[in-house]
Amino acid sequence: MKGYITKAKEKLHASGVLLRSGDYEDAVSRAYYVAFHAARAVLLTDGLVASTHQGVVNLFGLHFVRTGRFDKKFGRFLTNLKDERENSDYEIYTAIDKAVAKHAVQEAREFLKAVENYLKPFLQGG
């Protein structure tokens, strides 16, 4: 669990560096991985492991958003970041500009903060 949070923090730092340097597509990609790794840590609290990116999104939504443990906006953040990451990584002509990248990094930061708050009781115990 701690390893996923460490990885998420590293990706958050990288996304900020990329945003400031004008590398907007890669900033968006790294922002997604902040939420992806953070969500994987959350899934572990219920003993859940997903084998795909979509699986992480689906399990997080089903077990943590629909149950009210996380606000619906965090399910949207994870889904939006995944879609934007796929667009930035795979599409030749994208509309990833500074505003889109900045928004993605902000969503990733907020997602990670919510996850860290949720995980406090789990991390204190071990």
Per-residue confidence (pLDDT) for residue 54, from 0 to 100: 98
- CATH number for the domain formed by residue range(s) 2-124: 1.20.120.330
The domain spans of the chain are 2-124
Burial group, residue 69, by CB count within 10 angstroms (0-12, 13-18, 19+):
middle
Using the predicted structure, report yes or no on whether residue 126 has a pLDDT greater than 60: no
pTM above 0.75, yes or no: yes
In this predicted model, what pLDDT tens digit does every residue of 22-40 receive, in sequence order? 999 999 999 999 999 999 9
Across 78-115, b (16+ Cβ under 10 Å) vs e yields: bbbbbebbebbeeeeeeebeeebbbebbebbbebbebb
